[in-house]
Amino acid sequence: MKRNLQASLYCIILLCLFAGCAKKENSALYDAVNGEPAGEDIQIQQYLAYHNIKAQKDPSGLYYQIINYGDSIHRISLENVPYMIYTRRLMDNTFIDGSIGATDFDGRKLKDHIAGWQIGLQKITKGGKILMIIPSSLGFGKIAVDKIPANSILVCEAELVDFR
């Protein structure tokens, strides 16, 4: 009896291990359910490899490369209004928009910008510069905005000139 119980227990453990290692056929659906259209992470990784960009991945899904950390003292918060110089492109290098000089976006606080910028700009300090590859879930999502198609991955370079 004891051997049968042990054998059954070993079989259950093996089944659990094999089930955990099985390839998920619905992994694309899983990504979409979690707010990220299927394959975006792979597209971003391919973009980074093609452009030889060494980026880090934030737990949110944002990929970023700090070009210049800044003064290391003055850190922006969500309640601050950023003054920044930026460019925003699609992954095929289509230019969307950018600033010629520093802009404060008509006094808009950081908390009122897309999530990708909220996360990325808090990784640098005043005078810092960052490259962000922003998945659609941290950008404009399923909504098309001006020249930005729905579900677009954004490539943004931003310099945090100042904030108030």
Residue 10 lies in a domain: no
Strand order in the sheet with 82-90: 56-57, 63-68, 129-134, 154-163, 82-90, 95-98
Residue 9 lies in a domain: no
Residue 132 lies in a domain: yes
Residue 50 lies in a domain: yes
Read off the pLDDT of residues 12-31 as tens digits, 9 standing for 90 and up.
444 444 444 443 333 333 34
Residue 100 lies in a domain: yes
Read off the pLDDT of residues 52-94 as tens digits, 9 standing for 90 and up.
999 999 999 999 999 999 999 999 999 999 999 999 999 999 9
Residue 130 lies in a domain: yes
CA pair distance 150, 144, nearest whole angstrom: 4
DSSP structural state of residue 64: E
Nearest by Cα to 62 from 129, 125, 139 = 139
What's the total number of domains in the chain? 1
Residue 153: CB partners within 8 Å, gap ≥ 6? 40, 43, 44, 47, 90, 91, 133, 134, 135, 136, 139
Residue 146 lies in a domain: yes
Domain span holding position 88: 39-163
Residue 152 lies in a domain: yes
CATH number at residue 124: 3.10.50.40
Q: Which pLDDT belongs to residue 29?
A: 33
DSSP 18-40: HHHHS--TTHHHHHHHTTS-TTH
CA pair distance 147, 14, nearest whole angstrom: 52
